[in-house]
Chains A and B, each alone.
Chain A
Amino acid sequence: MNPVDDMPPGVDERTERLICRLLDGEISFEDRAELDDTLACNPAARLLLEEYRRIDAQAATALRGDFRGVTTAVAPGRRSGLWLATAGGLLAAAAVVALSFLPDLWSGPAKTERTGPVQIAGRTDGAIVPPSGNLSPYPAGSGFQPSGPRFADYRNLDQRPVLRSRDVQREWIGIPSADMKTIIIIERKAQTTKITPITGDF
């Protein structure tokens, strides 16, 4: 016999259907009265109701756990480790920093228009140094406290071409280095950020 047609013992198809309607919240008043009458005199039907109720609860828990557990930013057991958390934080910070300094380049240099003072840290030997004044590279109120270097070198960033592309949920930003030998590709997704350096003689 086809397992789909293999009815639970002692329960007819009509009763099984009513049990499913009840569990799915789709039962009418009349159907509910009919089912109550059946349940009152049929232990197999009561057993099936309890069994289906348990299966429903287990299925909902399993499916919701699977669906939400894996689609959150960090899936326990799949991506773990302090190094990854640190790297993730730094990568996210890089994107945040890049974005905080780049909106004026979105439409190209011709449209550059700053709404406030932007201070660029840097010195001519290219070392990573703190910016002058009290400027943090992390946006105020972002709550981000990185464990790595607190300052980055943004020399002349606003004079270099920055490539940006985006689709519905993803955005790519290409930032060339000062010597134009490397382009850092920042890929921002809704939940993750990835940075890939591409080295070459550009």
Chain B
Amino acid sequence: MACGTDQGDRELIAAAQMGERSALDELVRRHDRWVRNVVYATTANASAIDDIVQGVWIKVWQQIGTLMEPSRWRAWLYRLAKNAAIDAGQKVAGERRSRLAFMRSRQGRASVPQPATTLMEEEQRRRVLAAIRGLPAIYREPFILRHLEDWSYAEIGEAMSLPVDTVETRLVRARRLLRAALQDSDTEQKAHAR
């Protein structure tokens, strides 16, 4: 993934600021996946991404005139995406509670037998996701950006407006916390199995 704002982006941003719709369409095409990653890193919840990302691009269209430094495009876009994700996260948290209740009520009915390995893999995946979601946001976001699509420290730093050293420190701490959380989860599971 390229770092910084390339010349093509600058021209597109300038055109979009002049109201050229096709320029925005091209920006969407170029950066939609990136925005999705940012939203996912913020919410750690994939179910609401489509709507949130749509809202982000509407805001981009409405506010692109306020972007004074096109070289800061990624940082600006990151802030819009992150804020939209946080706003949506508060709404989703309430919905998730009711959905969980609904899922639990259905669990008794959905009794399709599955191979043991699939169940174990699914359980493992669920535990890891829960541990990642349990990380403090300042560690979780760079960790997800790094592991979802192998973003470099520089790319994460550029997006989050952080020095590379800080990104590195946060990733070290994220791994440390994750290791401890998974060990706790293992211990709990073994105690539960006895």
A interface residues, Cβ below 8 angstroms from B: 3-4, 6-8, 16-17, 20-21, 24-26, 51-52, 55-56, 58-67, 69-71, 75, 78, 167-170, 189-191
Any chain A CB within 8 A of the CB of B161?
A: no
Q: Are B172 and A56 in contact (CB under 8 A)?
A: no
With beta carbons under 8 angstroms apart, the residue of B46, B124, B146 that contacts A67 is B46
Given A26-B168, A69-B46, A167-B58, A59 contacting B176 (CB threshold 8 A): no
Q: Are B129 and A62 in contact (CB under 8 A)?
A: yes
A-B contacts, 22 of them at CB < 8 A, read: A3-B176, A3-B177, A4-B173, A6-B176, A8-B179, A16-B176, A25-B150, A56-B147, A61-B125, A62-B125, A62-B128, A62-B132, A66-B46, A66-B125, A66-B129, A70-B46, A78-B47, A167-B54, A167-B58, A168-B57, A169-B53, A190-B50
Expressed in whole angstroms, the minimum distance between the Cβ of B15 and any Cβ of chain A is 15
Q: Nearest residue in A to B46 (C-beta to C-beta)? A: A70
Q: How far is the CA of A116 from the CA of B132 in the complex (A)?
A: 56
Q: Nearest residue in A to B60 (C-beta to C-beta)? A: A168
Q: Which residues of A contact B176 (CB under 8 A)?
A: 3-4, 6-8, 16
Q: How far is the CA of A75 from the CA of B143 in the complex (A)?
A: 25
Q: How far is the CA of A1 from the CA of B146 in the complex (A)?
A: 27
Q: Are A20 and B143 in contact (CB under 8 A)?
A: no
Q: Are A17 and B54 in contact (CB under 8 A)?
A: no
Q: Which residues of A contact B182 (CB under 8 A)?
A: 55
Any chain A CB within 8 A of the CB of B78?
A: no
Given A3-B180, A24-B146, A70 contacting B58 (CB threshold 8 A): no
B interface residues, Cβ below 8 angstroms from A: 24-25, 28, 36-37, 40, 46-47, 49-50, 53-54, 57-58, 60-61, 124-125, 128-129, 132, 143-144, 146-148, 150, 152-153, 168, 171-173, 175-180, 182
Given A59-B143, A67-B148, A52 contacting B175 (CB threshold 8 A): yes
With beta carbons under 8 angstroms apart, the residue of B168, B179, B180 that contacts A21 is B168
Q: How far is the CA of A61 from the CA of B49 in the complex (A)?
A: 19
Q: Which residues of A contact B36 (CB under 8 A)?
A: 67, 71
Q: Are B58 and A168 in contact (CB under 8 A)?
A: yes
Q: Nearest residue in B to A72 (C-beta to C-beta)? A: B46
Q: Are B172 and A20 in contact (CB under 8 A)?
A: yes
**Cross-chain pair count, CB within 8 angstroms:** 103
With beta carbons under 8 angstroms apart, the residue of A55, A64, A75 that contacts B179 is A55
Q: How far is the CA of A7 from the CA of B128 in the complex (A)?
A: 20
Expressed in whole angstroms, the minimum distance between the Cβ of B12 and any Cβ of chain A is 14
Q: Are B128 and A26 in contact (CB under 8 A)?
A: no
Given A62-B128, A168-B24, A169-B54, A20 contacting B144 (CB threshold 8 A): no
Q: Are A168 and B54 in contact (CB under 8 A)?
A: yes
Q: Are A6 and B47 in contact (CB under 8 A)?
A: no
Q: Which residues of B contact A55 (CB under 8 A)?
A: 128, 175, 178-179, 182
Smallest CB-CB A-B distances: 10 pairs: A70-B46, A168-B57, A62-B128, A62-B125, A60-B147, A58-B128, A20-B172, A62-B129, A59-B147, A169-B54
Expressed in whole angstroms, the minimum distance between the Cβ of B150 and any Cβ of chain A is 8
Q: Which residues of B contact A52 (CB under 8 A)?
A: 175, 179
Q: Nearest residue in B to A69 (C-beta to C-beta)? A: B46
Q: Which residues of A contact B148 (CB under 8 A)?
A: 60, 63-64, 67
Q: Are B152 and A63 in contact (CB under 8 A)?
A: no
Q: How far is the CA of A179 from the CA of B143 in the complex (A)?
A: 57
